[in-house]
Amino acid sequence: AFYLMGRVEIEEFSLTAGVRVETTELNSSAYSINKSIGVENPEDRYRWITNSAKYHDYLPSLNLKWSLSNEWVLRAALTKPLGRANPNDVSARESITISNDLGVPVVTRGNPELKPRRSNNLDLSLERYFPNGDNFVSAAFFRKDISNLIFGDSVELRERGVLTEVI
């Protein structure tokens, strides 16, 4: 990763700008259940899988502070943050457990193809500071355009007559 930042202050204005450049590389290997029809040999029930991903990101940010007076401050920010899934969620892992009284197998899988959560953010606020210095009130507006939202899901599947829950 690399980060570059600059700051300029001119009278009542303060501007901070920066960019973070990142390269991410992911390699994940694990045994996976072989879902091929007719696999009867116990040694063939699992197969070794490997997944990999590599991506580059440029994450700029721009922050402006305008001191309208000793009591009033206007702030604005444009940012492009990045959020990654937990390592366990992007690993090539797969496990089977019997989790209920009915003996239904539960298959839990990671998803190595998960993309990082990205967003473009706009934040605006107006702040009023009171003379005693201990209190202030703020009104803010924000907009977040988020892509590749990361979340868990649960799906029930019937495979070869066995009810399986995929999480």
Long-range contacts of 1-5 (CB under 8 A, 24+ apart): none
Q: pTM for the complete prediction?
A: 0.72
CB atoms within 10 A of CB 34: 12
pLDDT of residue 41: 64
Q: Burial level of 109, CB count in 10 A (0-12/13-18/19+)?
A: middle
pLDDT of residue 99: 65
pLDDT of residue 96: 73
Sign of CA dihedral 97, 88, 112, 93: negative
Number of residues that this document lists for the chain: 167
pLDDT of residue 156: 62
Q: Which parts of the chain have pLDDT scores under 70?
A: 33-45, 99-105, 154-167
